[in-house]
Amino acid sequence: MMRDHGRPIEPRKRRSTPPIYGDVRIETSRSEDLGRQAEIARLVQSNPLESSVIPHLLDVALHGMSTNGFVLTGFEIIDGVAYAQSWWCLAEDGSAGT
């Protein structure tokens, strides 16, 4: 996550934050929060019985991509308030696509 309640997290602090592991899944589905269809990114962890540790990313779009990873941008809803959010996604070993 690159933002906290819509405010950018400083790069130094962002890099020192422990990673959150899981599979990123993106699909078009109905968002109850929005009352319409939306592109939604979800972080799915290895135990499907666990709830997501981060809010879903709504109206998600690919913001940037490189050999080592990609950035998804959209917004999340926390306590009924929408906040800008981006996810910096890397492969578990730090190298995407291998």
At 98, the pLDDT band (50, 70, 90 cuts) reads very low
End-to-end Cα, the chain, rounded Å: 23
CB 39 within 8 A of CB 29: no
Dump pLDDT digits (tens) for 25-54.
999 999 999 999 999 999 998 776 667 789
